[in-house]
Amino acid sequence: MQQNTSDPKNTDAQAISSYKNLNRFSVAPMLDWTDRHCRYFHRLLTKNTLLYTEMVTTGAIIYGKGDYLAFSEEEQPVALQLGGSDPAALAQCAKLGEERGYDEINLNVGCPSDRVQNGRFGACLMADAQLVADCIKAMKDVVSIPVTVKTRIGIDEQDSYEFLCEFIDTVATKGNCEMFIIHARKAWLSGLSPKENREIPPLDYPRVYQLKRDFPHLTMAINGGVKTLEEAKEHLRHLDGVMVGREAYQNPSILTAVDNQLFDEQLPVVNAVDAVRQMYPYIEKELSQGAYLGHMTRHMLGIFQGIPGARQWRRYLSENAHKKGADLTVVEQALSFVTQGE
């Protein structure tokens, strides 16, 4: 976790440099997917990747009965993504997030779902850059960790490059925002489902590259459609960071080589079987506290994609992890399909 310090030697330039490295590669916030069990597993696959929470609304944090900020220290570095549009509420939640140990606070300005729009947050906020700037400034005024924005390249008919530049400029200058994660698709606020909004609007990587050239002083990462580390390396020729979404979840083995290929070639490539076995103590602890096995193993189904025995692994877990009393023996049996040749 990044440590806060009042040491004057810890200059803004040093902080920004460290910050850029933290955001070099990240796993996107994905609702119903990147929960704390998922993040714990992903951390066993990569030590350097920045992991994001699911989007958490300010209302859930302030008024909800559950603990929406819980995570394990082993997951760090972890960024908290907030959904909201009230500067005071966002500031309150950002402060709570910093106190709990999150490394970054991120504002969702990219989700296009109807439910999110009804709460006036997500992608619809692109139409009000000044409000986004106010929200970012309110959070930055009360925390010392980075506050970032995840956004689209446009919404509905407001999808010109000039519109995107005006949005970035306003949020950067009036909100003092230094880091943007750009999903390289526009969002349609009506007519498309959230799933369709992740697939139908065309990707426009060159537009994001141009944005970085026009705002070289800002830290920028790209998101959308990245499926391989080779693609990530190409994006890193133009930008400061890459965020991977569904591929990292559905095929988490992509994360096993991130540390070696994107951070330091001296770091080992993680063995997926070893990572599964390293989950055992966590699984046992969570089961003893009332968690269900299936809530953890559902995030592990794709780890052996392309490996002999992967289909049996997935099938056995899918058929048995949800059963009453399911425990670690289910995982061990499923793993035997993959390790029979060892």
Q: 183: annotated binding-site residue?
A: yes
Mean pLDDT for the stretch of residues 207-223: 98
> What type of residue sits at position 301?
L
Q: Rounded to the nearest 5°, which phi and psi values hold at 109?
A: -125, 35
Residue with tokens 């986004």: 132
Radius of gyration, CA atoms only, the chain: 20
Q: What is the DSSP string of 170-212?
A: HHHHHH---EEEEESS-B-SSSS-HHHHTTSSPP-HHHHHHHH
**What residues act catalytically?**
111
Round to whole Å and give the CA distance between 123 and 325.
42
Q: 225: annotated binding-site residue?
A: yes
The 10s digit of each residue's pLDDT in 252-264 is 999 999 999 999 9
More confident residue, 17 or 311: 311
**Residue 114 pLDDT:** 65
Question: Residue 222 is inside which H or E element, if any?
Answer: strand 219-223
Helical axes 129-140 vs 161-175, angle rounded to 10°: 30
- Percentage of the chain surpassing pLDDT 70? 92
Q: Which one, of 100, 94, 84, 105, lies nearest residue 19 by Cα?
A: 105
Could you tell me which CATH number the domain at 272-336 has?
1.20.120.1460
Q: Where are the domains of the chain?
A: 8-263, 272-336
**Residue 112 pLDDT:** 80
**Residue 111 pLDDT:** 83
The 10s digit of each residue's pLDDT in 47-85 is 999 999 999 999 999 999 989 999 999 999 999 999 999
- Percentage of the chain surpassing pLDDT 90? 81
* Fold of the domain spanning 8-263: TIM Barrel (3.20.20)
Supply 278's token pair. Answer: 């390293």
The 10s digit of each residue's pLDDT in 103-161 is 999 999 988 876 665 667 788 999 999 999 999 999 999 999 999 999 999 998 899 99
Q: 223: annotated binding-site residue?
A: yes
Q: 150: annotated binding-site residue?
A: yes
The 10s digit of each residue's pLDDT in 223-248 is 999 999 999 999 999 999 999 999 99
Q: 29: annotated binding-site residue?
A: yes
